[in-house]
Every structure is written in structure tokens, then in C-alpha cells.
Amino acid sequence: MIPPARLDTVFRAAIAECRARTLRHITLPADEQFTVAYVTDKPWSAYNWYQGGYASRIEVNTDLPVPIGRALDLACHEGYPGHHVYNVLLERELVRGRGWREFAVYPLFSPQSLIAEGSATYGIELAFPGPEHVAFERDVLFPLAGLGPADAERYGTVRALVERATYAGNEAARGYLDGSLTYEQAADWLVRYALMSPERAAQRMRFIERYRGYVINYNLGRDLVAQYVEAAGEGPEARWQRFAGLLASPRLPSGLTR
């Protein structure tokens, strides 16, 4: 876990690297910017509030200790090349570029969110492919957090195994929302099969109660976006360009499967 006194340092270092890697492939407006705030009593771990004018406010929830592995994930997902980049490109290309002012309004509970969350989640591995993810954590973020870099490889291996259980969270939500699982049973499901701590499972249940079926946007969305982007071929530049094109255009999830 990142010591609270070091959280801002670690998170800003993660955002800086995510931004630098994104800018190698995607040109953004010179005046794009963001602010970071640390908040409590939220059902999510982080949130991007797009302000318009190419600016975002990224909030990080500190109700629970923040694992070192979440720093890079949240920096990519909420910032670069995730939500911040997505909203900046929509504003530049559609609102300002084409005069489609309706895209200045973001309907959260809509098919658009599957692409938004899916691309933000896939953006993590796009920016840090293969062993680069663990290498940056080991060489930069672990030392900044005061953690032993020797643990980074093992941490990365365990994280990858846990991520394979991500769809178990969808089943907990399905059962709870359909009424086949009680709140307590769904929370226990998250602990048993999604491998969450009881505290993390309780936070996830708050998210499910508030956002309901929105939970599928992260893993199902990620898999659909990955399939779409990786159809461009093995070259990283081709994938980045296909990814950028997806973010900068009006799409429906059904278009990702064609």
C-alpha cells in the first residue's frame, strides 16, 4: 500500500509518465490540463470530472489504502490515454471541429460509456505493454512509495492472476440486482471469487448499488476495445492510431465487432 504521505508524489509521477507516453502517439491541444484532488466517502476509487476547455479534475478516493499497482492504472484510466484524452478529443474533433454541440453533454448511462470505460481500461496496457508495466513500477513508483523494488515482479504476477477473475464481479452484480443474491451474499461472492478484501468488496457493493449494470463497461468494454484496436496488427503505432481514431469519433459498441 502507498503510504498516505507519499500518495500525491507517486500519483503525479504515474500521470507524468502516462502523459509522456501518450503524447508520443497522440497530438493533444497545447492548453490541455488537469488538477488532482484527494477525496473520501465515494463508491469509486477514482473519477474524472471533465470541465470542458480541455481541462479535467481527477479525484482519487482515499477511503481505503491505495495499492501501489493502482497508481499507474488510475493515472492511465482517468488521465492519459483514458478519460481525459477521450473527452479532450471529443471536444476538439466533434464539438469544436464539427460544431456538434450535443457531444458537449456526456450521457453516463449510455452505450457511449462502454467505449469510454473500455478504452480507458485498455489504455493501461497500450501505454505500458508487456513487461514495461512492472518495470516502471519497480524502477520509479516503488522507490517513490518507499517500497522494496524487489517485490515488484511478484506483485505484478499476482496482480495478473487476480485480474483473470474480473468477470466474477459482474456475476455478483447480476445476482444482487436480479434479486438472487442478498447484499451480504454478493459481497461474499466478491471476496471468494473476485479475490477482493472485505473492505474493497463493501466499496464495490456501494458502486453496484449506485451505478448498477455500469460495471460491465470495464471488463467487457476493455475486451471489445482490445479486439477492435488489435485488429490493426502487431505494430504499436498502428494500434495507437486505431485507438486514437476510436476516441475521436462517434461510435456505438456494435461498431467494435464489425
Q: For the segment 12-50, what is each residue's pLDDT rounded down to a tens digit? A: 999 999 999 999 999 999 999 999 999 999 999 999 999
Tell me the pairing of strands 33-39 and 55-61: parallel
Q: Which band of pLDDT confidence, cut at 50, 70 and 90, is reported for residue 256?
A: confident
Tell me how far apart the alpha carbons of residues 120 and 224 are, in angstroms, rounded to a whole number: 12
Give the pLDDT confidence score for residue 258 in this predicted structure. Answer: 65
Length, in residues, of the chain? 258
* Percent helix / strand / coil, the chain, rounded to 5: 65, 10, 25
Q: Which of 84-98, 170-184, 221-235 has the lowest mean pLDDT?
A: 221-235
- Residue-wise pLDDT for 143-182, tens only, equals 999 999 999 999 999 999 999 999 999 999 999 999 999 9
Cell of 137: 513500477
Instruction: Provide the 3-class DSSP secondary structure of residue 130.
Output: coil
DSSP conformational letter for 161 = H
Kindly report the average pLDDT of the chain as a whole number.
94
At 235, the pLDDT band (50, 70, 90 cuts) reads confident
